[in-house]
Amino acid sequence: HVQLVESGGGSAQAGGSLKLSCVASGYSFSDDCMGWFRQAPGKEREPIAAISTGTGNTYYADSVKGRFTISRDNAKNSVNLQMNSLKPEDTAIYYCASTGPRYVGSCAEWTEYNDWGQGTQVTVS
């Protein structure tokens, strides 16, 4: 059973930084994709970043490109999201998600993420 647990959310001022972490349990990273999504009040959930745990290739939404950085630590089964130059419009619940192991598609196939964390709130003022 795959379990994803996010941490690191909170409040920040515009222009500030926050770092989110997600630890996966129930399996070991193995050629899968880990992604971060977010959902703002009244809006649909949107993908913002993803990383291949095998190749390290990364993918970003235009809205966060140049400001957010996704990274992974395969030894710790964890993925991080460093968020810099935060804006009020970054306020949302942030979710970690996984495609599961031995995934052969693109990490930017956002409908292929099957396992989800509980989410962590990020508020930027």
- DSSP readout, the chain? --EEEEE--EEE-TT--EEEEEEEESS---S-EEEEEEE-TTS--EEEEEEETTT--EEE-TTTTTTEEEEEEGGGTEEEEEE-S--GGG-EEEEEEE--TT--S-TT-GGG--EE---EEEEE-
Whether the predicted pLDDT of 26 surpasses 90: no
Whether the predicted pLDDT of 50 surpasses 90: yes
Percentage of the chain exceeding pLDDT 90: 85
Q: Quickly state the pLDDT bin for 122 (edges 50, 70, 90).
A: very high
pLDDT for position 86 = 98
Percentage of the chain exceeding pLDDT 70: 100
Structure tokens, 70: 């996704």
Sign, Cα dihedral of 3, 69, 39, 10:
positive
Cα–Cα distance, 45 to 66 (Å, whole number): 21
87 close to 124: Cβ distance less than 8 angstroms: yes
pLDDT for position 100 = 86
pLDDT tens for 54-88 read 999 999 999 999 999 999 998 999 999 999 999 99
60 close to 3: Cβ distance less than 8 angstroms: no
Whether the predicted pLDDT of 89 surpasses 90: yes
Whether the predicted pLDDT of 95 surpasses 90: yes
